[in-house]
Amino acid sequence: MNNFRDLDVWDKAVELATNIYDKTENFPKTEQYGLTSQIRRSAVSISSNIAEGAGRESKKEFKHFLNISTGSCYELETQLKISKNLEFLDEEKYNEFRKRLIEIQKMIYALRQSLTQ
């Protein structure tokens, strides 16, 4: 069992989710149960799956949850792109979130690789 609180990737994912919540607060109210909700769930899923996987008994299970976190990163990036296309997000904020997502994806990949060794 790993302590997820010691993982930098978990901290970064929590910070991203918090920022996503703040930014989506300004999305149209008509999207409250649509895109806003979906974006928030994807963002929260990244850190949540890292934490859940860290609490599992085996490296194989941990890696499985890291794979789910990676999938949530891709899902979130897609939803953010749609938000940009709909002009809910400006180009600058979209690029900032995308850059942070790529960093998190790389960190998840490195963590997954470290579990293989």
pLDDT attached to residue 104: 98
Q: At residue 70, what are phi and psi to the nearest 5 degrees?
A: -60, -45
Q: At residue 55, what are phi and psi to the nearest 5 degrees?
A: -85, -5
Residue whose structure tokens are 């400006």: 90
Q: What is the CATH number of domain 4-116?
A: 1.20.1440.60
Which amino acid would we find at residue 117? Q
pLDDT attached to residue 3: 87
pLDDT attached to residue 28: 94
From first to last of the 117 residues of the chain, give the pLDDT tens digit: 578 999 999 999 999 999 999 999 999 999 999 999 999 999 999 999 999 999 998 999 999 999 999 999 999 999 999 999 999 999 999 999 999 999 999 999 999 999 987
